[in-house]
Structure 1
Amino acid sequence: MTLPAGVAREVRALLIGRGLRAFVDGYVAVLLPAYLLALGHATWQVGLLSTATLLGSALATLAVGAWGHHAAPRFLLLAAALLMAATGLGFAGLSAFWPLLLVAFVGTLNPSSGDVSVFLPLEHSRLSHAAEGDARTRLFARYSLTGALCAALGALAAAVPDALAEQGIDRLTALRGMFLGYAGVGALLWLLYARLPQEPVREQAVVPTPLGPSRGTVVKLAALFSVDAFAGGLVVNSLLALWLFERFGLSPASVGLLFFGTSLLGAVSQLAAPWMAKRIGLLNTMVFTHIPSSLFLILAALAPGLPIAVGLLLLRSALSQMDVPTRSAYVMAVVTPSERAAAASFTAVPRSLAAALSPTLGGALLAAGWLAAPLVACGCLKIAYDLALWRAFRLQPEDRVVSDVETR
């Protein structure tokens, strides 16, 4: 995929930014429950803090969708980077639960395996202007692949506090240092985004607008995506790490190694997503790779031992992320260019809101000793979402969706 020089520079900056954020998100998802437990907080509080994080991200994303078109896109990215730096400093410097909960709500912390932060719609909107058709799907695949690979490396970095503890450094101090690293990445992102042009390079003439002719389609997609997100919130990475701690007694370093493997498989699978979407369509790629991954998750919850559970989680990861670039490309394809920023926000907001409701429930189930329940519920709900999505859009060819919208 060859892009004009100016577009290529912008895309490169956005991919680097995605990689940096994914790296720190990768280790934060593993270390967050370990950090809270080390501070003396309870298991259920891990779920509550995850809920606050996702709820705050949802409200911030909603604000971007509703009013963000009044502000310069680069300004919003710079503000998000500063907020990320402040979030890391808050977690590194605070110990009491309620101040941490407040920082989680207003900050950018991401306890999940995907990107649910306010950065997502802002970066998606700019990327969507860089290419069209199959090229756009491949570009979103590169974006998702970059995130998955860097998240895998970040999961490996979760072993750093244990390694430092073996060298005589206080483990809690080492954990705080990892959050300082998170703050440092926020500062790096500010420097990176400061070099971006005010508007996307390719389509300077496109003025962002609120949702208009595509509203019905976007609302239907957003409602369905919210079911998927609620299910995913039951087993965000921080809760999945907690499940592995409680069920099998694994250390953060061991969980980080497992998450490295799952993230790596997810990254590799995304390379096949554009190829598959070109042959069977975006919708079919989203649905028919997602259903088997949910079945593997259910079986992992019921696995009698660690080796089988790990194997099933790895199989799940080989399929579960193939819908990520195809979903993003599908949303961008069914709206007009001027609506893309609003569509990205309004499909992300219900996902974030729905995902914000379930971690508290998942944490409560784990605290009550019902260890398999969050994983089984997640798998069943995701299968229901996939079937509903396929039924709702299977009779509407994707090439007709795109042409109908673009000719309005």
Structure 2
Amino acid sequence: MAPVLNQIQWIYREFGLKSLFHTGKNSWLIILSRCTRMLAYGTSSLTLVLFFSALDFSDTRIGLFMTLTLLGDVLLSVLLTLVADRVGRRRILFGGSLLMVLSGATFALSENFWLLLFAAVVGVISTTGGDLGPFRAIEESTLSHLTTPETRSDVLAWYVTTASFGSAIGTEVAGRVVDYLQKRDGWTILDAYHMVFWIYSIMGILNMVLTLLLDKRCEAVETKEVVDTGSSHGEESGVLLDEMHEHDEDSGDEGQHQRSSRSIPSPDLQLGKKKSRFSQISQETRSVMYKLWFLLIVDSLADGMVGYSLTVYFMDLKFSLAKSTLGDITSISYLLSSLSTIFAAPLARHLGLVNTMVYTHVPSSAAVLLFPFPSSVWITVALFFLRTGLNNMDQAPRSAFIAAVVKPEERTAVMGITSMLRTLAATCGPTVTGLLAGNDKFWIAFVAAGVLRLAYDFGLFAMFVNMKLYKHENPEGTKGGFALTSTSSRDEEELGELRRDSENSERAPK
């Protein structure tokens, strides 16, 4: 039995289950919330464009709809993420979930183009199947706050894994529901599509409930470096430190894992001063993020051109597959994505964050480039599986990379701006693809997207392969930050050594 137990313990540690367990219930609720939300997005990614086609909307109008909806996502993301830390992360997540409910109900009840467009622009409807609204940036910032450098990539990997699993369930359910309902007497294909959007609203309600279960440890704590000058400010900071220490002791193991991510509350926050989030991002952070933002814009433009909804529509036009078959194909692809992302955290520990991002994304980009050429449905589906199976393996390392190169108090703003720029870039894609599809040149969109994605991959490797990480993180007891390269294969071991050395130095007699 001992070898078996050793193997189980190795799996428990290596695949991040230990990190996930010890991070605590807030992380579990956030991950479950995203899983249910992506289930809703999975239903829309399969049915949205097909729904518009059944309403006889032109390809050009469909592309315009998706572009304007993505623009709405941009505005919503900017407004909500930039104020999330000040207003309250839980409140923003609850409000976003409410918008999901209202948007889904509108699509379930209406067939008017302009009303649907209004609901999509001001609400939360995923036109691509991706999580481009205000939720993800806030959730990733919160998870980064709740984790330590050595557990962060593990937790974020499960955040992505369960999301893909939710998408797989959503597309499978949507395909089966549509196929079943349209065969019943008195049901049309449009009636079946409307029913799917009720599922979207139900998932929004479930998200609202999960958000209410989160506690105050999810909220932001702004930071400011404290200098011991013997002033009243120093005494006040000492009191704050004591209060934080008492809170950690009350929190047990969960508090230990959160402590390294917490910092002293800024006096500005206590005084209620309101500043622009962007103005609070340091020049050092901006110099890194400007380069990353440019590359992410290129990648997101490509993803917008060939989003999953448009890809499903392309297969439907080319091969005239049954809706249940399309649902099966899309669901399997999401399931493959979910299974592959389990390996993202172990790969990141051994290869480094940037190497993992690049090595897993290049084959997916090549599959996009080659996707429109095969005349066989099986080869086309195989390329689709390759694309989606590897497409999300870079997400957790990318989020961990951003968290590692920016200051803790800047994370929500930086991730919000990142989400906004990615969504803004993606808005251009559907319009271009709609114009190409209307002129029987749909295939060009996949070729262009594949080239852009490969440019992103190679640019990412060239610019960030030796980037120093964790300079702004303070392990327990340390006086300053530490740095590891993004290609380190021993991140976890070195982090542990740094912590032990720090603890020993503090215990040594002065």
TM-score range, shorter chain: over 0.9
For 1:194, give the aligned amino acid. Answer: L
After TM superposition, give the deviation of residue 404 of structure 1 in Å.
5.6
* C-alpha contact 2:408 2:472 (8 A) present in aligned 1: no
Match in the other structure for 2:56: 40
Match in the other structure for 1:68: 84
* C-alpha contact 1:285 1:326 (8 A) present in aligned 2: yes
1:19/1:404 Cα in 2 relative to 1: closer, same or farther (>3 Å)?
closer
Deviates more, 1:355-364 or 1:209-218: 209-218
Q: Does 1:176 find its partner at 2:194?
A: yes
1:105/1:404 Cα in 2 relative to 1: closer, same or farther (>3 Å)?
same
Instruction: Give SS of 2:213's match.
Output: coil
Unaligned runs of 5+ residues in structure 2 are: 1-16, 220-257, 270-276, 475-479, 482-510
1:5/1:242 Cα in 2 relative to 1: closer, same or farther (>3 Å)?
closer
1:4/1:182 Cα in 2 relative to 1: closer, same or farther (>3 Å)?
closer
Per-residue deviation, residues 43-96 of structure 1 (Å, max 9, x unmatched): 222222221222111121122343333211111111101111111111112212
For 1:106, give the aligned amino acid. Answer: V
Match in the other structure for 1:370: 441
Match in the other structure for 2:10: none
Equivalent pairs counted in the alignment come to 405
Match in the other structure for 2:352: 281
For 1:295, give the aligned amino acid. Answer: A
After TM superposition, give the deviation of residue 206 of structure 1 in Å.
5.5
Residues of 2 paired with 1:4 and 1:167: CA distance?
Answer: 44
* C-alpha contact 2:306 2:446 (8 A) present in aligned 1: yes
After TM superposition, give the deviation of residue 171 of structure 1 in Å.
2.5
* C-alpha contact 2:153 2:396 (8 A) present in aligned 1: yes
Residues of 1 paired with 2:125 and 2:292: CA distance?
Answer: 26
Residues of 1 paired with 2:198 and 2:384: CA distance?
Answer: 31
Instruction: Give SS of 2:131's match.
Output: coil
Match in the other structure for 1:224: 295
* C-alpha contact 2:19 2:155 (8 A) present in aligned 1: no
Of 332, 342, 354, the match for 1:261: 332
User: What is the root-mean-square deviation in Å for CA atoms of aligned residues?
Assistant: 2.0
Q: Does 1:163 find its partner at 2:180?
A: yes
Match in the other structure for 1:131: 147
Match in the other structure for 2:503: none
Instruction: Give SS of 1:112's match.
Output: coil
Match in the other structure for 1:304: 375
After TM superposition, give the deviation of residue 294 of structure 1 in Å.
1.2
* C-alpha contact 2:97 2:208 (8 A) present in aligned 1: yes
* C-alpha contact 2:19 2:151 (8 A) present in aligned 1: no
Deviates more, 1:273-282 or 1:40-49: 40-49
Residues of 2 paired with 1:295 and 1:5: CA distance?
Answer: 36
Match in the other structure for 2:75: 59
Instruction: Give SS of 2:216's match.
Output: coil
Q: Does 1:153 find its partner at 2:153?
A: no
Residues of 2 paired with 1:2 and 1:157: CA distance?
Answer: 31
Report which structure shows greater RCO (CA 8 Å, sep ≥6).
1
* C-alpha contact 2:90 2:218 (8 A) present in aligned 1: no
* C-alpha contact 2:368 2:450 (8 A) present in aligned 1: yes
1:5/1:270 Cα in 2 relative to 1: closer, same or farther (>3 Å)?
closer
* C-alpha contact 2:319 2:377 (8 A) present in aligned 1: yes
Of 93, 97, 103, the match for 1:77: 93
Match in the other structure for 1:100: 116
Residues of 2 paired with 1:132 and 1:235: CA distance?
Answer: 36
After TM superposition, give the deviation of residue 315 of structure 1 in Å.
1.9
* C-alpha contact 1:145 1:271 (8 A) present in aligned 2: yes
After TM superposition, give the deviation of residue 318 of structure 1 in Å.
2.6
Deviates more, 1:385-394 or 1:190-199: 190-199
Residues of 2 paired with 1:336 and 1:88: CA distance?
Answer: 37
Q: TM-score, normalised by structure 1?
A: 0.94
Match in the other structure for 2:311: 240
Q: Does 1:18 find its partner at 2:34?
A: yes
* C-alpha contact 1:34 1:252 (8 A) present in aligned 2: no
Instruction: Give SS of 2:442's match.
Output: coil
After TM superposition, give the deviation of residue 205 of structure 1 in Å.
5.2
For 2:162, give the aligned amino acid. Answer: T
After TM superposition, give the deviation of residue 338 of structure 1 in Å.
0.9
After TM superposition, give the deviation of residue 298 of structure 1 in Å.
1.6
Q: Does 1:402 find its partner at 2:473?
A: no
Instruction: Give SS of 1:136's match.
Output: helix
Match in the other structure for 2:160: 144
For 2:136, give the aligned amino acid. Answer: L
Percent of pairs identical after alignment? 30
After TM superposition, give the deviation of residue 165 of structure 1 in Å.
1.4
Residues of 2 paired with 1:404 and 1:92: CA distance?
Answer: 47
Match in the other structure for 2:457: 386
Residues of 2 paired with 1:4 and 1:58: CA distance?
Answer: 31
* C-alpha contact 2:353 2:398 (8 A) present in aligned 1: yes
1:248/1:21 Cα in 2 relative to 1: closer, same or farther (>3 Å)?
same
Residues of 1 paired with 2:23 and 2:198: CA distance?
Answer: 33
Residues of 2 paired with 1:199 and 1:394: CA distance?
Answer: 34
After TM superposition, give the deviation of residue 7 of structure 1 in Å.
4.8
Residues of 1 paired with 2:400 and 2:448: CA distance?
Answer: 28
Per-residue deviation, residues 130-176 of structure 1 (Å, max 9, x unmatched): 21223100101000000001101111112212211112223222211
Residues of 1 paired with 2:75 and 2:192: CA distance?
Answer: 32
For 1:154, give the aligned amino acid. Answer: G
